[in-house]
Amino acid sequence: MKTLISLLLSISILIGCTESSQKTLLSNPDKAIETKLAELIAAMTLEEKVGQMTQITLDVLIMPNSEPVVFDTLKIRMAFEKYKIGSVLNTPNNGARAPEEWNRLVGMLQDYTLNYSRLKIPLLYGLDMIHGASYVAGATLFPQQIGMAATWNPALLTTAGEISAYETRASGVPWTFSPVLDLGIDPRWPRQWETFGEDPYLASEMGKMLIKGYEGPENEISDKNHIAACLKHYLGYSQPLSGKDRSPAWIPENMLREYHLPSFAAGVSASAHSVMINSSEINGTPVHASKTLLTGLLKTELKFEGFAVSDWQDIEFLYQRHHVAESVKEAVALAVNAGVDMSMVPNNFDFADYLVALVNEKKVPMSRIDDAVSRILRVKLQLGLFETPMTYYKDYPEFGSEKSVEAARITAIESITLLKNEEGILPVSKNSRILVAGPAANSMRPLTGGWSYSWQGDLADEFAASHQTIFEAIQAVVPKSENVKLCQGVRYGTGDYRNEIVDNPAEFSRMAAASDIIVLCIGENSYTESPGNLNDLTISENQQNLVKLAAKSGKPLVFVLVEGRPRIIRNIEPLADGILLAYLPGNYGGEAIAKILFGDVNPSGKLPYTYPRFVNSLEPYYHKATEQLEAATPDGTTFNPQFEFGTGLSYSEFTYSDLRIDKINYAAGENIQCSLTVTNISNIPGKEVVQVYISDHYASITPPVKRLRAFEKILLQAGESKRISFEIPVSRLAFVDADNHWVVEKGTFTLQLGSLSTDFTVDETKVY
C-alpha cells in the first residue's frame, strides 16, 4: 500500500458526501471523563492495563454445561483477581436467556469484577444483538440486516436500534457487536445476510441510522436506554476470492476505498464507539496485523477515537492459520502494535501473559498500551458504568411491548419484496383452497436466521414457539382455516443447515391436486459464518424437484423465498406465477408474508443486491460496461441477472413524469437540484422507492454503468401525485483514481430516475 501521505481523502466523500461535518467522540470532550481517565491511567499497573485489553468468553468462567448456570469460583478468581479481565462476551452454553437470568449472570460478574478490582473498574459485557436483543428470550426480533436494507426506509432502522438498545440494556448488557457494515457484494459469502447489501451509499445511510438508534441522536450512551455500537468487520471481509468465510480477499486499494470503506467511514462519522476487525486478510496481509489499515487508515485518517476489538481468536490465528507469526506471542505483538486495542481471546488468559512480557521486553511500547486502555476506559466512562455498572429488567417495563412488536411487524412488512406477479396472481383470495409447502413453511428457524437465540439459529423453534410460522400465519387470516393445508414435501433436517428430508411425494401430489393455489416456501435454513459455506449457489435439488412436482398439478405456484442470500432459481423460476422474497424477516415474518399474500398490505421492499441468474455471473449492478458488450444470451455471458438491484413490484402502479434539473453545467463544489412527479395511477395506496442513479460517460478509470446517488421512500394514496426533489452534491460523483485519490473529473453525466433521464456536465476536475 502507498504511504499515508499520498492517501489523504475527504471523509465527506467517503460517507456519501453528506452535507454535515464529521463528528468524532472527542469533538467536544467531557472534561470530567478525561480527568477521571487520566487519573486511572496514572494509577494503573501494567497488569491492570493489560487486563482491560483482554476479553474472554463466558463459558470459560462457568461450570461446564451447568443449567442453571453456575460460576466456577476458581476461574472467577483467576480471571478477575489474577488477570484483572476487563471484558466478557457471549451467551452460556450457546443459548438465549430470560432477561432476569441475564441480570443475574452479568450482575454477578460485575460484583466479582468490582470486588477484585483495586481501582473499581467495571466490566464491559458484549453480545451479538444484531437484529434485536437476539440472545434474550422474549425480546423483539426484527428482520436481519439484509431485510432491513430491503425496506429502503432508514427511519425504520433508527426505531429498530432504539428498541434493540432498550431491550439489550434490560438484560444488563451495554454493548452490541452491531451493525455489520461489510459490503454485501458476493452472494456466495455466508454472511451476506448480515449486511445492508451491495451498494455503498445504501449501506452507509442504513448503517448510520441504526447506530443513531443504538447510541442516541447525540451518542448519549450513558443514557440507560442506549448502548455502544460496534462497526464490523473492518475492512474488506465480505469479498473473499473463494466466497468462503474467513478466506483471503484480493481487492485493489482504490476499490477497497471506493466501495468497502464508505460505510465504515459513515459509522465513524456517526461516532460509533467501537469497531471489530476483519478476521481474514487483504492482499496477503491479515487485517489484524495491518498497521496501515488499523492505525493509519482507521485511527489517523478517519480519526476513529473509539476502540478496536479483535474478532474471535483472531490474534492467535495470525500464528495458527495465517502463518505471519512464528508463535502466539509474536502474533500478540503484531496485532497490538498494528492497532488492536482489545483481544477477543476468548478461551484462555495467554494474551495477558504474553502482552505483559512483550511490554517488559520493550517489544510493545507502553504508549501503545496506554492508548489502547484509554480508548477502552473512555467508553466505559461514557457508558456510565462506573456510576451504574448494572441495569435491570424491572426498570424496563416496555420490554417486548406491543409497541415494539408493531415496529418489528412494520419493518418485516416493508422488507418483503415482490419479484414476480404474472397475471396478477397476487393477492390471493382468502376463499381459495391453499396448499402451503416447502421446508420453510412451518418452522421459525428459517425466518429468524443465524445469531437468533443461538449462534446458528438452531434454537428458534424452541424460543420463538409463540410466534407464527408462514403456514400458521396464513391459516390464521383466512375465514376457513380448513381451506389451508400443509404438506411440506421437503423438510430441513437438524444440524447442518443443508440437511433436507423428502416427504411422501404421492401425498403431496394428491393434496396439490385438491388445492386452488400452492404456496412454496423454499430457500435455506439458518446458518452463519463457516458452517454456511457452500460449493454451489443453486437452490437444492430436492427443493427444485418439489417445485417441478407441484407444477405437474397445473395449479398456480407462488414462491416465498426465505433465504439469507440469493440462491439460483433459474431452472424453476419460469414455473412460478408469483415470487415473494422474504429474506430473513424475523419473528413477525410469517405474519408479514401472509398479509402481503392476501393483499391486507401492499408490498414495498426493493432488492438491496443483484439477484444472479447464473453461478458464474455474480456481478453487482455497478458492473463495468464490458460486462454487457452483447445482448443478453441464454448462457449468461453478459450481465443478465435474474432480478436487478433496486427491483420490487407493488400492487399499485406508479408513473414518473416531468423530470427537471436546475441547470446542465455544474462546478465541482455545487449541488445538483433535480425533481420529478410520481403518480399512483392505481386504486390501491402504496409505497414507492424513488431511486436516483448517475452514470459517468468517460473517466480515467473505467466507470461503472451507474451508481446509486440518492433515494427516498414515499407513500402515495390512490390517484395521488407528489413532486419529489433531490439535492445531490457534485462531490458525491467522485471515484477513487489509480493514485488512490478521490476525484471528480470534468465531463458528461447521465442522471436517471426510472425510465426518465437527462444529461449534465461538470466543468472542472477536482481532487479531494
| Whether the Cβ atoms of residue 214 and residue 226 lie closer than 8 Å to each other | yes
Average of per-residue pLDDT across 473-478: 97
pLDDT band at 569 (very low <50, low <70, confident <90, very high): very high
Checking if the pLDDT of 461 tops 90, the result is yes
Task: Determine the residue type at 507.
Answer: E
| 711-743 per-position pLDDT tens digit | 999 999 999 999 999 999 999 999 999 999 999
* 350 burial level (CB within 10 Å; 0-12, 13-18, 19+): middle
Could you tell me the residue range of the domain that residue 174 belongs to? 31-395
**What percentage of the chain carries pLDDT values higher than 70?**
95
Last residue of a domain, one of 395, 428, 461: 395
pLDDT band at 4 (very low <50, low <70, confident <90, very high): very low
Whether residue 251 is found in the same domain as residue 315: yes
Is 503 a member of any domain?
yes
Q: Where are the beta strands (DSSP E) in 484-553?
A: 484-486, 490-492, 500-502, 517-523
Q: How far apart, in whole angstroms, are the C-alpha atoms of residue 60 and residue 349?
A: 10
Q: How far apart, in whole angstroms, are the C-alpha atoms of residue 596 and residue 427?
A: 7
Whether residue 620 is found in the same domain as residue 658: no
| Residue 269 cell numbers, joined | 462519522
Other beta carbons within 10 Å of 68:
9
Is 3 a member of any domain?
no
Q: How far apart, in whole angstroms, are the C-alpha atoms of residue 32 and residue 23?
A: 20
Residue in 342, 518, 417 with CA at minimum distance from that of residue 150 = 417
Whether residue 244 is found in the same domain as residue 150: yes
Is 17 a member of any domain?
no
| Whether the Cβ atoms of residue 528 and residue 456 lie closer than 8 Å to each other | yes
Q: Sign of torsion, CA 281 287 288 290?
A: positive
Average of per-residue pLDDT across 81-102: 97
Q: How far apart, in whole angstroms, are the C-alpha atoms of residue 716 and residue 702?
A: 39
Whether residue 339 is found in the same domain as residue 456: no
Average pLDDT, the chain: 95
pLDDT band at 15 (very low <50, low <70, confident <90, very high): very low
| 646-674 per-position pLDDT tens digit | 999 999 999 999 999 999 999 999 999 99
| 621-647 per-position pLDDT tens digit | 999 998 876 555 555 457 889 999 999
| 296-343 per-position pLDDT tens digit | 999 999 999 999 999 999 999 999 999 999 999 999 999 999 999 999
DSSP 588-638: THHHHHHHHHTTSS------SS-B-SBTTB---TT-BGGGGSS---TT--S
Q: Which residue has the higher pLDDT, 764 or 28?
A: 764
Is 517 a member of any domain?
yes
Per DSSP, 273 falls in state S
The CA dihedral of 255, 256, 258, 264, to the nearest 10 degrees, is: 160
Task: Characterize the bridge pairing of strands 274-277 and 307-309.
Answer: parallel
| Whether the Cβ atoms of residue 727 and residue 750 lie closer than 8 Å to each other | no
CATH of the domain at 725: 2.60.40.10
Is 755 a member of any domain?
yes
- pLDDT of amino acid 12: 38
Is 44 a member of any domain?
yes
| Whether the Cβ atoms of residue 314 and residue 290 lie closer than 8 Å to each other | no
Checking if the pLDDT of 77 tops 90, the result is yes
Checking if the pLDDT of 407 tops 80, the result is yes
3-state DSSP: the chain helix, strand, coil percent, rounded to 5?
A: 35, 20, 45
Q: What is the 3-state secondary structure (H, E, C) of 346-415?
A: CCCCHHHHHHHHHHHCCCCCHHHHHHHHHHHHHHHHHCCCCCCCCCCHHHCCCCCCHHHHHHHHHHHHHH
Whether residue 368 is found in the same domain as residue 338: yes
- pLDDT of amino acid 436: 98
Whether residue 326 is found in the same domain as residue 360: yes
Q: Where are the beta strands (DSSP E) in 148-296?
A: 175-176, 230-234, 274-277, 281-282, 285-286
Is 18 a member of any domain?
no
* 424 burial level (CB within 10 Å; 0-12, 13-18, 19+): exposed
Q: How far apart, in whole angstroms, are the C-alpha atoms of residue 563 and residue 544?
A: 15
| 153-175 per-position pLDDT tens digit | 999 999 999 999 999 999 999 99
Whether residue 514 is found in the same domain as residue 659: no
How much is the pTM? 0.95
Residue in 575, 516, 588 with CA at minimum distance from that of residue 543 = 575
Q: How far apart, in whole angstroms, are the C-alpha atoms of residue 463 and residue 137?
A: 7
Whether residue 365 is found in the same domain as residue 425: no
**What percentage of the chain carries pLDDT values higher than 90?**
93
Beta bridge partners of 696: 749
| Whether the Cβ atoms of residue 557 and residue 547 lie closer than 8 Å to each other | yes
Q: How far from 243 is each of 189, 210, 237, 645, CA to CA, in Å?
A: 5, 27, 10, 20
Number of C-alpha atoms within 13 angstroms, CB side, residue 517? 21
Task: Determine the residue type at 344.
Answer: M
- pLDDT of amino acid 639: 84
CATH of the domain at 158: 3.20.20.300
- pLDDT of amino acid 627: 84
Which positions are catalytic? Answer: 311
Helices 589-597 and 402-415, interaxial angle, to 10°?
50
Whether residue 169 is found in the same domain as residue 303: yes
* 111 burial level (CB within 10 Å; 0-12, 13-18, 19+): middle
Q: How far from 700 is each of 324, 667, 704, CA to CA, in Å?
A: 36, 19, 12
Q: How far apart, in whole angstroms, are the C-alpha atoms of residue 601 and residue 443?
A: 23
Last residue of a domain, one of 337, 360, 395: 395
Residue for grid cell 393477492: 427
| Residue 41 cell numbers, joined | 491511567
Cβ neighbors of 301 (< 8 A, separation 6 or more) are: 4, 7, 8, 9
Checking if the pLDDT of 5 tops 80, the result is no
Last residue of a domain, one of 331, 362, 395: 395
Cβ neighbors of 515 (< 8 A, separation 6 or more) are: 432, 433, 434, 435, 485, 553, 555
| Residue 627 cell numbers, joined | 460486462
Is 564 a member of any domain?
yes
Whether residue 485 is found in the same domain as residue 388: no
- pLDDT of amino acid 11: 35
Residue 693 φ/ψ, nearest 5 degrees: -115, 145
| Whether the Cβ atoms of residue 734 and residue 743 lie closer than 8 Å to each other | yes
Q: How far apart, in whole angstroms, are the C-alpha atoms of residue 556 and residue 34?
A: 66
- pLDDT of amino acid 684: 98
Cβ neighbors of 237 (< 8 A, separation 6 or more) are: 182, 191, 249, 278, 279, 280, 287
Q: Sign of torsion, CA 164 165 168 169?
A: negative
Whether residue 321 is found in the same domain as residue 384: yes
CATH of the domain at 503: 3.40.50.1700
Checking if the pLDDT of 543 tops 70, the result is yes
Whether residue 295 is found in the same domain as residue 435: no
The total of structural domains in the chain comes to 3
- pLDDT of amino acid 638: 73
- pLDDT of amino acid 630: 57
Cβ neighbors of 271 (< 8 A, separation 6 or more) are: 23, 24, 25, 211, 215, 219
Task: Determine the residue type at 415.
Answer: S
